[in-house]
Structure 1
């Protein structure tokens, strides 16, 4: 397996999200084992989440964040659903990418 290279922005976002999850967990008085059980992962995986490691599934990051009250996408669930619906409506209106075809101009 080759090492993936993350941009400095992605690394910063993951580390920030990990720190916010740790803060939220500690504010709620939860141990890593308690939160891991609620997220549905091992304690080692939760530790990786809190360290902001990019190898953890995004769904686990988001579940941990939601469970400890980290606001996801800057809004409440209704606002997030509205944003998703708006994005889908826009996707439906955009033209589909065309496949590149070979042009044979040997006459």
Structure 2
């Protein structure tokens, strides 16, 4: 038996917003659905799923569609994103390598 994956309302709304933004960008740049699908390397039906905010579409395809139509996913340009990636890598390097569950909580209520 397979369980159906559910997504939070926030995630669903974010996907819908990104999909509609991609569609708007495509229309503003006067790119047909077929042309954008070909540039991404997907079928037209996959592009329709992207524009509808389907959570099952590969995130790389969604990001590529957004990039082609000029949708900024982050409030930064390529250079700034590179710097941000470096800073996040530095912060990750400072964290412990393993995450352990908290041990037994000490009862100090005397």
Q: TM-score surpassing 0.5?
A: yes
Residue aligning to 1:82? 83
Report the counterpart of residue 45 of structure 2 in structure 1. Answer: 44
**Structure 1 outlier segments of 4+, above 4 Å:** none
Equivalent residue for 1:105? Answer: none
Structure 2: how far apart are the matches of 1:35 and 1:67? 8
TM-score, length of structure 2 as denominator length: 0.86
Partners in 2 of 1:12 and 1:77 — Cα distance?
A: 26
Give unmatched runs, 5+ long, in structure 2.
102-110
C-alpha RMSD of the superposition: 1.2
Instruction: Count residues with an aligned counterpart.
Output: 100
Q: Per-residue deviation at 1:2?
A: 2.5
2:69 maps to 68
Counterpart in the other structure of 1:17: 18
**Alpha-carbon offset, residue 96 of structure 1:** 1.6
Cα deviation for residue 73 of structure 1 reads: 1.4
